[in-house]
A and B are shown apart, each in its own frame.
Chain A
């Protein structure tokens, strides 16, 4: 009878009343005051979906600011792609494979006689896992220290303030937030026609977990990820061929002169490159994989044979299963969440940071955004300078750059000066017997303000920090040149490149 009196057009889900925070004044009202406006469950100040670099940094920063924070992560360990299957494990493999390669090929001329050198890939992988687990557990500790609630599960929007969480350990829960950050990151873009099984056809995730050294490895995509992984397996004994659609390696951000020199240096290490080449199709039906290529502008065809194919053509934002359709949030043509200058989506209390939105897909960019987004929330003001975000490729020698490159400045019609300094003229590089590469400064022709710094050489990744600081402060090349740099260090090459930009280098 009751139902017929009060028909409902849309049957609603029953709202679970888990726990009432309302204390009834006497026994008569106990349990009878559910129908009031008193809130039933605790609402968080901030709920973050994704415990990667963007998510966990935002969670810690918000915890430090005294907000009530929950961070939802489905992987089972914090740190996202970077810590679990990206930057960190790859750096472990790059460092250890470099050591192995150096012991094999570069000890005699240093006066070190070594006996038989053998690779124990299993132990190398274990060393990688030890670094990863140490770091991910470190974040869990930081969560506890900063009162961040860590929810292990998959979050999906139920409405604009509620996230339904499918828990990793089974069961479901939901969490409400006054503010919500989407920091779900990115995933490797698959190559049409090749099925990724992470054994024979792999992404970067599979490339850091191969059980044995492949005899022949073909890398589709000569960007940073592709070249780093190519370096690892080339050093461990694979015959590596890199196929790149563009006319240069390193992606469009790398300065053309630096890219050319890097390609030469990597080629000397045994890597083969096929630039301006398009992969047409792949056939993984037989034991080896056949990759058909042709010249990017059409024409010359070729077939490459490989035991393992690494697909490294880029990454795409990851929003699958997030329930964006439930709240009407839109993405752009590449799947990136559309945000304004304060990281807000069209729904102002829902912000988006990291790989899932605009800008380069870099962990340190995500970190900057996380801090800025929380500051917008707590202080109403944040800061990220997208013009001064460094990029580093951890091959040997390393490649690093910040700011604009020559081709970009030429296209923009900016008048500029260039100054370079080779590591072969640097004393420390000479003593280290590691003299390949150079530092290149680009500064404004009129004001001498630094516009870009590009390095290929030993320790470039660490050295670029000084360049980024100079760029952030709006320094001139003369400012850097007149700053004392310790002798003998590699950083003197940095100073001398600045000297050669506004005047002349001393040692070259």
Chain B
């Protein structure tokens, strides 16, 4: 009886071991305000950029940023523009843009290919 009372009176520290740290299974990756932001607000540009931008698939998918290569590309959804939208080639990453002609290529075309054998 007394032993139980002693046990019940024992102090419970506020510090508790919670077990090994693990990454939460559900992490919300949509942009939120940074905890140290003085204004406690995000400008509209964050949402508007994500609406139009395409980076390895549309950006406005919430579960996209798990880890690099965490999901196969096919699962990232279609890369086509949304309804009523279109992409200009110049908005794509540079590797998808038209290549500028080099001087050697211009000469090759103008000389009918002769310059490549000169």
Taking Cβ atoms with an 8 Å cutoff, the residues of A that contact B are 1-2, 12-15, 17, 34-35, 37, 39-40, 45, 159-162, 328, 330, 332, 338-344, 346-349, 357-360, 377-381, 386, 447-449, 470, 473-476, 478-479, 482
Contacts and interface: CB of A to CB of B under 8 A. Distances in A.
A380 to B, nearest CB: 5
Interface string B79-105: 000000000000001111001101000
Interface of B: 11, 13-15, 23-24, 27, 29, 31-39, 42-43, 45-46, 49-50, 53, 55, 59, 65-68, 70, 93-96, 99-100, 102, 106, 109-110
Contact of B11 (A328, A381, A478): A478
Contacts of A380: 23, 27, 29, 65-67, 70
Query: In terms of DSSP, what is the predominant structure of the interface of chain B?
Result: loop
Which of B32, B37, B96 has the largest number of chain A CB atoms within 10 A? B37
Contacts of A474: 14-15
Given A37-B95, A380-B23, A344 B31 contact: yes
Nearest to B49: A346
A346 B43 contact: yes
A351 to B, nearest CB: 11
B29 to A, nearest CB: 7
B42 A340 contact: yes
A330 B93 contact: no
Given A12-B100, A475-B15, A479-B13, A2 B106 contact: yes
- 4 A-B pairs with least C-beta separation: A359-B36, A340-B31, A358-B36, A381-B23
Contact of A340 (B27, B32, B55, B96): B32
A314 to B, nearest CB: 14
Contacts of A377: 68
B99 A338 contact: no
B27 A338 contact: no
Contacts of A340: 31-34, 42, 46
Contacts of B43: 330, 338, 346
Contacts of A381: 23-24, 27
A14 B106 contact: no
Contact of A341 (B13, B14, B33, B50): B33
A229 to B, nearest CB: 26
A438 to B, nearest CB: 24
Contact of B94 (A2, A161, A346): A161
Given A340-B34, A360-B36, 17 more contacts: A1-B110, A2-B106, A17-B102, A34-B99, A40-B95, A328-B45, A332-B38, A340-B32, A341-B31, A343-B34, A348-B31, A358-B38, A380-B23, A381-B27, A448-B14, A473-B15, A474-B14
